[in-house]
Chain A
Amino acid sequence: METIENMANTEVQFSEQALNKVKEIIHRYPEGKQKSALIPILHLAQDQFGGWLDVPVMDYVAGLLQIKPIEVYEVATFYTMFNTKPVGKYVFEVCKTGPCMLNGSDDIIKYIEEKLGIKPGETTADGLFTLKPAECLGACGYAPMMQLGKFYKEHLTREKVDQIIEQCRAGKMELN
């Protein structure tokens, strides 16, 4: 039987530390219900393998959890946080739902489009930025806002967007 240890020879490979985390996560669910660990482990995988889930990565995760690859594809394509195509290093997920719209999210999105020369869904040629309009992120009282990596940037203004872009370009933006 394949175990976490003897998966070690495949191309896609979690770090030792990540593998320990995988084991710890699987342990949270009852015996035999390790499929429950799928979403948490896909998060780990996306963080570790370049911000998106390529097919070999999904197959690797399927192997770790001893489930069929299709079970992983089904999940990866259902949830908006999983990228099944490459994205830029900095993904600006700007909320555009009602409450943010009331506070000017349209203008912020337009400003980012102009400033970076990309349309929603696109990535800049240098691979640094992706603009991804998002639905309500639970920050409606602090609108307009965007998610960047693990964190929220709230009360956005054009000036604040300038600063964020500068920080990213200087490699000083914390994502994790």
Chain B
Amino acid sequence: MKLLLENAHIEGIRYYDAYRKHGGYRSVEKALKMTPDEIVDEVKKSGLRGRGGAGFPTGLKWSFLAKPEGVPRHLVCNADESEPGTFKDRYLMEFLPHLLIEGLIVSSFALGSNATYIYIRGEYAWIPDILERAIQEAKNNGFLGKNILGTGFDLEIYVHRGAGAYICGEETALIESLEGKRGNPRIKPPFPAVQGVWMRPTVVNNVETLAAIVPIINMGGEAYGNIGVGKSTGTKLISACGNLNKPGVYEIPFDLSVEDFIYSDEWCGGIPNGKRLKACIPGGSSVPIVPANLLTKTAKGETRYMNYESLSDGGFQTGTMLGSGGFIVLDEDQCVVKHTMTLAHFYMHESCGQCSPCREGTGWMWRILKNIEYGKGKMEDIDLLWDVQRRIEGNTICPLGDAAAWPVAAAIRHFRDEFEWHVLNPDEAQVRNYGLAHYADRREIPAL
């Protein structure tokens, strides 16, 4: 069942006429007849969880918004999408810009925002044109601007381009950036819901979260909440990449098994050249990497599914997270040490530098990983690496520190033998990869 991408392949759906013809903007017509509180209630009933990565319930987040008399409030759409492996928001904005605009209108009405901003990563430089055109079309048809549909509700939506900084996806850094400053995360509290952009109450939500408001209003929160499994309601966009026959953006039902998602022709179509699966990072680079045997099955031997609960089954010992839905697949020829090294470089580059555990620790992790990868590592380095990541986690202003530590921790936890092999065989490690030797002494070999 598709709730977001159902009409993605209709000719001209990027433009107002086709979008409207296929049922577009119905949710605005419906929502503007409701009260803002009724809309928030529907969102609560839907069980929608934020699609930006943390999975926090959206309705609950909305209900925290402070409403002091006479102070404007703002909705900000987080389109910074910079987590390695993640490119789903881009797809939504490129091909279904009106779906996002529609979701923004309903959400802005529910939250009382008369000026809503889409903060988009600067590198997506061609997308603001698409969004601005959609905004203009919506305006020409009375869905934006002054006195929308005669209800007295005014709304402007502005597109604001960032300029290349992953940290600006973190909501308080995003707010700083929107104010024209460096993207340094703020210390919380105060939370954005109380003092956000220009010290006004602010809600920051992900692109996909805000698009999902449209089906929630159209079908009703309860009906939306009945789709899915447990606390994973609705559907989720997954951006699949790495070693796959059909990488791309998919809208999945939450009862899809990980194995089907990777191997079925309906989805990613398996791994190129008949290679075997080695490991996967299923929720964007910040979530733990898991080896094949823990990806398709949980430690208890149960089938693993593409949803919040199933992917995190086993905690960080044997599980991982759904995160942003950036699904990165490594085949048998890939090197976990090298892959982890590129991610460590990413976090070092993207640390804003405000807190020393993150600023110094990310650099340390990269340098140690580089030494191990290039055959200059020592056995103690593996323990040192473990120690460094442990000292970052939980000791920083924002979660980028944790996000940098987790991938390293998981790589050592599950692939320590591969790290050791690099140290013991420095010359060999320069000419070949460790492959699936990881599984040599295990009963379960991920043949699949």
Contact = CB atoms under 8 A, between A and B. Distances in A.
Interface of A: 28, 30, 33, 35-40, 42-43, 65, 67, 71, 74-75, 78-82, 96-99, 101-103, 135-143, 147, 149-151
A102 B339 contact: yes
B153 interface: no
A42 B181 CA distance: 12
Given A37-B180, A138-B81, A139-B87, 14 more contacts: A35-B180, A36-B179, A39-B160, A71-B181, A79-B165, A97-B285, A98-B85, A102-B330, A102-B334, A103-B243, A135-B166, A135-B350, A136-B83, A138-B87
Given A101-B339, A135-B350, A140 B180 contact: no
A74 B165 CA distance: 14
Interface string B158-181: 101111111000000000011111
9 contacts: A30-B198, A39-B163, A79-B163, A98-B343, A99-B242, A135-B350, A136-B83, A150-B126, A151-B125
B182 A75 contact: yes
Contacts of A149: 125
Contacts of B320: none
A33 B122 contact: no
A67 B72 CA distance: 24
Given A35-B180, A81-B122, A99-B85, A30 B241 contact: no
A97 B284 CA distance: 12
Contacts of B163: 39, 42-43, 79-82
Interface in B329-351: 329-331, 334, 338-339, 342-343, 345-346, 349-350
A28 B197 CA distance: 14
Interface string B113-126: 00100000111111
Interface residues of B, number: 57
Nearest to A46: B163
Interface string B79-96: 001111111001000000
Contacts of A42: 163
Contact of A147 (B123, B241, B328, B329): B123
A136 B84 contact: yes
